[in-house]
Chains A and B, each alone.
Chain A
Amino acid sequence: MNTAAPLQAPLQAPLLHLERLSVRYGRIAALEEVDLEVRSGELVTLLGSNGAGKSTTLKAISQLVAPSGGAVRWRGQSLKGVATETTVRLGIGHCPEGRRVLSRQSVATNLELGAYLRRDHSGIATDLERCYGLFPRLAERRSQLAGSLSGGEQQMLAIARALMGRPTLLMLDEPSLGLAPKLVAEVMGILAELHRQGLSILLVEQNARAALAIASRGYLLEAGRVSRSGSATELLDDEGLQASYLGR
């Protein structure tokens, strides 16, 4: 490793940079030499089918699984060996697959827990109101148990909870999973709005069409490797991608 890199890197370095990242689960290679970057203010999507390694990529970034090779760089600095807690502190928000709201806690408690590491009480209160503004249905149900929300509302809560950590980069793991088409459009609309407000987003999706509609760039993951990458329009026109993932 070049020890001088972090000193001169911040201006030039992408926000997030995966360098030949590999992850193994025992003898199975889940990710092989994945290169990916997200620049500040970008909305990048990571596409692929079940088992392609999309969730593993996000878990490796959050240090929930340890990479077997390569590096995860945040603003140029390697995250090797840091705790998940630190990645959250550094500004990497991870909204995990399957919503995973705390069903026996109220909507408000879920949101407050999203700000667990923060101490700025006035800032937390402001962000809480901002979330309720962004997701009015959560405001109506703030004292209701999260488990009693509909699937769409739970997904909104999961996104709002991740926002409560005030991330620089928001990583979402298949937010469209199991949602009706109308709700998928609503979730994507909210992500596009957050992106317009300046949030950097890494969106993992199986629903390639919905994701490419709002993303500026995308990567396609197949069997643990990046098989295609490019701008959203390039990927939408890609014949191979069209056949396998866009269903034309």
Chain B
Amino acid sequence: MPLDASLLVQMLLGALLGLSVYLPLRAGQLSLATPGFYAIGGYTAALLSTRFPALAGDGALYPLPSLLLELVLAALIAGALALAIGGPVLKLKGIYLAIATIALVEILRVLNLNLGFTGGATGLFAIPQPFEGPVGYLLLSLAVLALVCWLCARLERLRLGRAMEAIREDELAAACMGLDTARVKLLSFLFSALVAAVAGVISAHFLNTWNARQGSFDASITTLAFVVFGGSRTWLGPVVGGLALTALPELLRPVGDLRLVVYGLVILLGPILFPQGLITPELLRRLRWPFRQTSAEAPAP
């Protein structure tokens, strides 16, 4: 039973994390902070649901309003942190921003590992279940992913989205056009934190346990791979990347020990064969309007 509901939930959460990496990248910012905000979301959910009996209610299932409260609180905490550190950190460019955001993830991991209230190395256990089985999580993740995808698709058409694209292509030119580049970059970083925190809340309940290993440097690289593999120029890219690369190791289980080799090969060959990722705006345009494209993209004489 390789493609069961539990794997589907993980794939959907992977797609959300891919979108979280994609959002700052749309504005040209390579942030690897996603697992840090994901961990914050997870700890918020784990702490609220295990330490506050009032939230858990009397029934067998964890009440949905409490889950909603966790989502809101996690978004607030992650958002506040993103706004606080985004100002100074986003002054860094390219690989330096990546390094600084990895540092953020590591700081949070070490804190979570050593603080008392986060449960130390063993983490937090027995996180209550709001649903009876994986199908509930599947529906919730699907709904959240659909909402985030819809917002991302809207964003690509909005002024803010076009400003992000302009900054990504040429930050100086964007500044000369009067774009407030610092604000646009900060907003993209904030969106990234919100999406990751929401994914963390769902994930903590789904996994039933949460610890410092959930937000590690490995996860930074894995989530980046989602975007590199799927493509970073349209929202569909990270979704496809997140779904495919989360499913792949599980689907490859029959291959036995070779599966990680195959997984590695796929990640290696993806960028070589599709340097812009599997999904590009040009590809989407070709699929939708096969006849118009010749006039729009005729080469200059």
Contacts and interface: CB of A to CB of B under 8 A. Distances in A.
A113 B169 contact: no
Nearest to A141: B300
Given A116-B163, A143-B296, A96 B172 contact: yes
Contacts of A187: none
Nearest to A106: B296
- Between B166, B297, B300, B301, the greatest number of chain A beta carbons within 10 A of the residue's beta carbon is seen for B300
A95 B300 contact: no
Contacts of A150: 300-301
B180 interface: yes
Contacts of B166: 102, 105, 113
Given A64-B172, A148-B300, A109 B162 contact: yes
A217 to B, nearest CB: 24
| Chain B interface size range | 20 to 34
Given A144-B297, A148-B300, A84 B176 contact: yes
A153 B301 CA distance: 11
A241 interface: no
Interface in A40-64: 62, 64
Q: Is the interface of B mostly helix, strand, loop or mixed?
A: helix
Given A148-B299, A153-B300, A102 B170 contact: yes
Given A85-B180, A88-B178, A162-B176, A113 B300 contact: no
B170 A88 contact: no
A105 B169 contact: yes
Contacts of B298: 144
A87 B255 CA distance: 61
A145 B297 contact: yes
A106 B298 CA distance: 12
A88 B162 contact: no
Contacts of A102: 165-166, 169-170, 173
B175 A64 contact: yes
B179 interface: yes
A161 interface: yes
A104 interface: yes
Contacts of B165: 102, 105
B299 to A, nearest CB: 6
Given A141-B300, A144-B298, A96 B180 contact: no
A177 B2 CA distance: 60
Contact of B177 (A145, A153, A165): A165
A235 interface: no
A144 B172 contact: no
Nearest to A114: B177
A185 to B, nearest CB: 21
Given A102-B166, A105-B165, A144 B176 contact: no
A165 B169 contact: no
A89 to B, nearest CB: 6
Contacts of A144: 296-298, 300
Given A102-B170, A116-B163, A88 B176 contact: yes
B173 to A, nearest CB: 4
Contact of B176 (A95, A105, A141): A95
B162 A96 contact: no
A180 interface: no
Contacts of B163: 113, 116
7 closest A-B pairs (Cβ-Cβ)? A88-B178, A100-B173, A117-B178, A94-B176, A102-B169, A148-B300, A85-B180
Interface of A: 62, 64, 83-85, 88-89, 94-96, 100-106, 109, 112-114, 116-117, 141, 143-145, 148-150, 153, 161-162, 165
